[in-house]
Amino acid sequence: MGDTLSVFTIGGLKLRADALLSGKVLASMKLGEKVVVQEVFLRNKQYSQTIEGFAGHWVKVKYDTLEGYAFDGFLSSLPIPRENLVKKDDRIKTQAEIEADSHYRGQEIEKALKAYINREFPPICEPVEYYNGADGEGFHYLKIQKLSSGFTKISHSGCEGRGTELLMPEVRLSEVKNLIILLAYRSGIDNKLFEEVKSVIKRMPEEKWPSREILSLEMFWIRIKNYPSDNNGLKWSIELDCASN
């Protein structure tokens, strides 16, 4: 209780008089607006629900001067990805070039993840780097960087492509799913691909698994992974991989 959370979904979130989808709407809250949690009901199944593919609980919150209930499957303590996350000068290709060559579809999302990490989670120590491969063998490079907030960035590259992974302890799966949607939204990809990303995220089952590939294009993949954490919970991660041309 007392945690400050942000609305973490593009369409915004309703503040309701009761912990029900049919509850009277007290206010419409926009992406990024903040609420203060007043009461949680994690042990009461009455307040647990899955809405549009996102599992969560109804929580009592304060928004401005109003008190009511909000669904925490669309709330998060994570920073909101900013507009123009991938600058035009940093983009891999123009939109016309991407449309002409489907190999590049989706790769702007990986650039958006990198930009998000660089803006929001500064490193707290020097990275650890690994190399392998000898003459005549495939080369692979791995860099692990500890970040603020207890997060970790894992970068890898090699003869077959590159990838970026953000490891996030103490973050719920609903937050991970919404973060992918927001990164896609801010990355500048075309609307058709954005709707495809959003659709596969919403269809994902809310269950535990070691690793799941949720989107596979010609030369771009999105994976969500989980790892055991120190407090018997899970560390979720987003991995975005791009193949070499």
Say if residues 177 and 73 touch (Cβ distance below 8 Å): no
Residue-level pLDDT at 24: 96
Q: Is a pLDDT exceeding 80 seen at residue 76?
A: yes
Look up the CATH number of domain 4-76: 2.30.30.40
Span 72-80, average pLDDT: 96
Beta bridge partners of 237: 167, 225
Q: How far apart are CA 245 and CA 59, in angstroms?
A: 47
Cα–Cα nearest to 107, from 153, 29, 163 = 163
Sign, Cα dihedral of 225, 206, 182, 184: positive
Q: How far apart are CA 161 and CA 106, in angstroms?
A: 14
CB atoms within 10 A of CB 69: 23
Tokens of 197: 């990303």
Q: What is the mean pLDDT of the chain?
A: 86
Q: Is a pLDDT exceeding 90 seen at residue 35?
A: yes
Residue-level pLDDT at 199: 93
Q: How far apart are CA 218 and CA 233, in angstroms?
A: 34
The region of weakest confidence among 3-12, 18-27, 81-90, 164-173 is 81-90
Residue-level pLDDT at 36: 97
Q: Is a pLDDT exceeding 90 seen at residue 68?
A: yes
Q: Is a pLDDT exceeding 70 seen at residue 104?
A: no
List the domain boundaries for the chain.
Answer: 4-76, 88-243
Say if residues 14 and 24 touch (Cβ distance below 8 Å): no
- What are 38-54's pLDDT values in tens digits? 998 766 777 788 999 99
pLDDT band at residue 233 under the 50/70/90 scheme:
low
Q: Is a pLDDT exceeding 60 seen at residue 95?
A: no
**Residue 101 to residues 6, 11, 93, 219, 245: CA-CA distances in angstroms?**
37, 31, 10, 11, 11
The single residue listed with the structure tokens 């500890």 is: 146
- DSSP letter assigned to residue 149: G
Span 134-145, average pLDDT: 75
Q: How far apart are CA 183 and CA 112, in angstroms?
A: 6
Which one has a higher pLDDT value, 123 or 211? 123
Q: Is residue 190 helix, strand or coil?
A: coil
Span 102-120, average pLDDT: 86
Residue-level pLDDT at 212: 81
Q: Dihedral (C-alpha) 103, 98, 86, 143: value to the nearest 10 degrees?
A: 20
Q: Is a pLDDT exceeding 70 seen at residue 25?
A: yes
Tokens of 14: 């309703």
Q: Is a pLDDT exceeding 80 seen at residue 218?
A: no
Residue-level pLDDT at 63: 97
